[in-house]
Structure 1
């Protein structure tokens, strides 16, 4: 044990006994020491960055001066050096200067994963502006909303006819703004649009004075990242200097360095790929491989071709990769770490073993959140750990504390004691994740209503008048202080006076060999309290026929693995799910459609206890099924 580890033990009251003796008494202490040690690396560097004022641009320009010819970006077999990206960013900055916008004004950019996204963002930053990242998959009203709420006077559209077409379709509903288009000549554009390529070609790459950026204020916005639209419309979270600087050193936990090559296939407009993958690469002077859009088919080809060492995953990306036919080349690569969040426990080991991933680092956080924790011990399915020792050392400061409190799914509110205060959970219990409010990191939502921002906080948690950030997620804390994700608070529903975790039900169903994926949600039944379980199921491509045997198998597995109240009362078979751009299954549409035969064209089934199977739901038996006890 190192001197630093001994000091931590002493400082935490572990005096008078050897480390080995303590490990025998508290077997989880080894996982604590490993977690504390790697977190210390990241926290030390983050502290130094804050002291030196190493903002996003400072880090990037250090690399331009130190390693100008080194490859910064690899895209479609082309290599872009730090020096070249800086040249393009300077051109963008000079164009932005002609707009005469106030300092920190937002500029909307709707660009795919390509080098232009990065140098456009850096160019705006050099001109003292911020960027609002518009989801290029959006159309119609959600797209109008995203652009309007940003209040950006300028919109930059990336290459691709479909993006220009999406904007032209809603042009009459947009506020007056300048619109620049990449990948088009001016003669091919309507008069009211500007060719970004032609203007860039005629602009000199003269560096702007750093005075254009204004004085450094850690709470000033760097960009606006829209939170996932699983429900409602996208909302732009303010990402300030403090948050970017904290995120940019987080990969130190697995010794990310200048020799690493990261692979980013999730959209750069999302926080994981942007804040983690891009800015950890910039902070270390490493290399990033971009792919315009995620492709399960070409994923491992890219990883091998570009000698990728670190992959960043999110949501169901790993599940999509597992659906590909097995190959002798599955484990042929140079990957040393997979870093991300949302890798479900039912495929964790299959993904790790099939593709021979040496290390998986799962983390937990939120775009607008102020806290983060991670699993560096390799515990299958865990998203992190939080023990008394960790609370006494790494998480002593209230602004970084992460706690778990009891939550009532029926009322969708925390459980409170006789004094009106929240109750911490104990190991072996499920609770709501909350964290202290680090005022330097949290800036809320841009132009968000007071109600929208207030929804992110709980008050009177441990003392009257205190305030804690709530993630809206439920976790399970085991006896060894490992943390496992359970559900979103809105996803856990109540049926027959019991709480049902949609994630737990989905995990049971997806273990059935012929099931490709499952999306579980609650639906209302007339005359019944709460919500009944319903599962949308995708069968594996090679076995998509719905048979009596499959239906009986699903019934049998649910009967064996789930308590009566958690068994889905309805099944819906689908060929594809609607997913968010963070690859999370959307539920809002399916909840609205429920088991309504007039709204759902997919095959629907109800639980048939008499015949021990799931039977077709039809217009003939519909009323009888709903009036029965199911």
Structure 2
């Protein structure tokens, strides 16, 4: 009789030997298997929810019905259960149901990080409406544009004197049929067009609205609009539709996230990182989110320990700020098992992971309007994910990413004789593209021109369509992908995308500026790129103290703080292309080095509320300060 254990042992030995042989020839084979397994953990549940049309709001209502006492949000030492948030969302839904809106219409939300933001948004979803997430740092024209670009006719403003003051500056410039509802105040203290939302909520009942109110919702119906900066000069409303929300809500399955986990969200909820990653995944699993009004490096780990956080969500700049806090004996004393985020630079990766004793870092790459996600689940320092032949084969032509050669001058893919794009090889840099699924038809509301700019056709075969991230990435010899740079007229600073066109349009409103060229420059020790503006003055003007102060006051009045230029360079003339477009390459290369640049240089000085001369004597102090 054959010994089955011996046979199995022999087979195992053969397989093991085969794997060892393969790993000798292909050392990163294990990383391929791990990546494929990890990134596919959510496939079945996403397919199930798509098929049954189990929407994000359905996920929330299921937990609220089955586990109403379970804690959904922890905010400023107060616990908010699923049942309590659901009751408030019902109140919102019953108020908004009287506004004669139809499925798919949008209502703008301008609320600080708080449970109020979440229950307001969920209340809209109960009616099949979409939330337009307004960046509360915006002022004047960008704010007006954001309020109207999504075709919203109503705005709900959260509690906070600053929010009310911001709206007061623009409400007479909004369309006559635009209605504003404000929390934290009574109707008697508001102008005629402004209504107290608190009063309406008190008069409303917390009873559920019938699900038939959203029966016409489809997978293409909008969940929310999240604004992104681009080359158009003003924020664009990127569409997060129901299908995309379902996909995003299961992203944490890659880290085996369950209802027992607690995640920590400190970035603004008007961003996709906080809402589409942090909140959506919490809802999908019926877990708990610890929400903070704004990021605080000093209190970060204190909160993590206090609330027994198991998953932290980061952006790269956040990690660098945490490392600037003086070391503490309790730095590694916490329950965190995973850090999930994007933008963690390789120069601080190991220091961050070692100092704070993070067992696993999941670095991902995506975009609010993107159609796929790269994931580094192998703790590979600095990498965004993998793009190996095996992974490409497993994904097939209908899923995943493609990295192609491109012309740095035209910023367009290079084509072969058949008109198809040319994939890069290890050791090369290329343009990152992702397959467009059938559920994605458009990326932005009311901007067909911008949609078309984001689409690359005939990439692998005739008739296909890919989303262009507008980012260049590098592929190493082990098939790991690394971010290189953004292409075009945006750069990233303080965790925000900055539109160079938007900044230029604001600056040229000043009578003494003839023309301006805005770009980002790297600063050693800082993530992203700091804003720099090369300006050409009108004849007869010079950079006097008065003009420098006027420039400071103007940009900080009309731009979000992160978009205000850090550096100013005064030039006599600009480098231009044959089509009269500004060239940035030379300016970016020279940066803000006073030993290289002969033009007058100036740097932001918040203390004096002006721009001051930048020279060799003060640049060292500048680079060690917090910009």
CA separation of 1:576 and 1:277: change in aligned 2, threshold 3 A: farther
On the 8 A contact 2:231/2:490 being kept in 1, the answer is: no
| Equivalence map 1:260-271=2 (5 Å) | 260-271=261-272
- 1:473 aligned residue: 471
**CA distance in structure 1 between the aligned counterparts of 2:321 and 2:437, rounded to whole angstroms:** 36
Distance 1:109 1:468 in 2: 31
Equivalent residue number for residue 439 of structure 2:
440
Aligned residue in 2 for 1:593: none
Residues 214 and 195 of structure 1: is their aligned pair in 2 closer, same or farther, counting only changes over 3 Å? same
Q: How far apart, in 2, do the equivalents of 1:66 and 1:162 lie?
A: 39
CA deviation string 1:405-435 (max 9, x = no partner): 0112122222223343321100110000011
Give 1:55's aligned residue. 55
8 Å contact from structure 1 (residues 519, 535) kept in 2: no
**1:533 maps to which residue?**
588
Q: Secondary structure at the match of 1:44?
A: helix
Q: 2:338 is matched with which residue?
A: 337
Preserved contact between residue 103 and residue 217 of structure 2 (Cα < 8 Å)? no
Matches for 1:280-359 after TM superposition, within 5 Å = 280-359=281-360
Residue 166 (1) aligns with residue 166 (2):
yes
Using the alignment, how far apart are the partners of 1:77 and 1:518 within structure 2? 36
Give the match's secondary structure for 1:37: helix
Whether contact under 8 Å (2:420, 2:458) holds in the other structure is yes
Alpha carbons of 1:246 and 1:29: their partners in 2 closer, same or farther (altered >3 Å)? same
- Higher mean C-alpha displacement, 42-51 vs 102-111: 42-51
Alignment deviations for residues 343-365 of structure 1 (CA, whole Å, 9 cap, x no partner): 11111112111222111111011
Change over 3 Å in CA distance of 1:532–1:522 after alignment to 2: farther
* Structure 2 match to 1:371: 372
Aligned Cα RMSD in Å? 3.1
2:212 corresponds in structure 1 to: 211
Q: SS of 1:308's equivalent?
A: coil
Alpha carbons 1:134, 1:269 under 8 Å: kept: yes
Match of 1:408 in 2: 407
Matched residue, 1:256? 257
SS of the residue 2:40 aligns to: helix
- Quick one: distance in 2 between partners of 1:337 and 1:62? 27
* Separation in 2, partners of 1:492, 1:115: 32
- What's the TM-score once normalised by structure 2's chain length? 0.79
CA contact (8 A) 2:126 2:214 kept: yes
- Identify which of 449, 452, 466 aligns with 1:451: 449
The whole-number CA distance in structure 2 between the counterparts of 1:51 and 1:57 is: 16
* TM-score, reference length from structure 1: 0.79
Matches within 5 A, 1:23-102: 23-102=23-102
Shift of 1:106: 0.4
Count of residues in correspondence between the two structures: 532
Query: Distance in 2 between the 1:568 and 1:474 partners?
Result: 28
SS at match of 1:84: helix
In the superposition, relative to structure 1, how do residues 517 and 465 fare at CA in structure 2: closer, same or farther (>3 Å)? closer
Partner SS, residue 164 of structure 2: helix
User: Structure 1: where are the runs of 5+ without partners?
Assistant: 1-13, 494-501, 538-550, 556-566, 578-598, 607-612, 617-630
Q: What is the SS of the residue equivalent to 2:470?
A: strand
Deviations 1:32-90 (A, max 9, x none): 11111111212222222223322111100110122110110000000000000010011
Equivalent residues of 2:319, 2:344 under 8 A apart: yes
Inter-CA distance 521–468: structure 2 relative to 1 (3 Å threshold): farther
- CA separation of 1:293 and 1:16: change in aligned 2, threshold 3 A: closer
Q: State the SS of the aligned residue for 1:297.
A: helix
**CA distance in structure 2 between the partners assigned to 1:182 and 1:49 by the alignment:** 35
Could you tell me whether the CA contact under 8 Å between 1:570 and 1:604 is conserved in 2? no
Answer yes or no: is the 8 Å Cα contact 2:345–2:527 preserved in 1. Answer: no
* 1:269, distance to aligned residue in structure 2 (A): 1.0
What is aligned with 2:612?
A: 601
Q: Within 2, Cα distance between the matches of 1:465 and 1:568? A: 49
Shift of 1:15: 10
Match of 1:546 in 2: none
Tell me by how many angstroms 1:323 deviates: 1.8
Bigger mean CA offset, 294-303 vs 477-486: 294-303
* Post-superposition CA distance 1:128-151 (Å, at most 9, x none): 211111111111111011011121
- Pair 180,534 (structure 1): closer, same or farther in 2 beyond 3 Å: same
- Per the alignment, residue 279 of structure 1 pairs with 280
The alpha carbon displacement at 1:190 in A equals 2.5
Tell me the SS of whatever aligns to 2:169. Answer: helix
Please give the alpha-carbon distance, in whole angstroms, between the structure 2 residues aligned to 1:381 and 1:444: 28
Query: How far is 1:231 from its partner?
Result: 7.4
Distance 1:270 1:492 in 2: 17
Structure 1 stretches of at least 4 aligned residues deviating more than 4 Å after TM superposition: 14-17, 515-518, 520-530, 534-537, 567-577
Indicate conservation of the 8 Å contact 1:64/1:86, yes or no. yes
Name 2:120's counterpart in structure 1.
Answer: 120
Out of 111-120 and 186-195, give the one that drifted further: 186-195
Say if 1:535 and 1:350 are closer, same or farther in 2 by CA, change over 3 A.
Answer: farther
> How far is 1:576 from its partner?
7.9
CA positional deviation for 1:443: 3.1
Deviation at 1:228, TM superposition (A): 3.7
Q: In structure 1, the residue corresponding to 2:341 is in which secondary structure?
A: strand
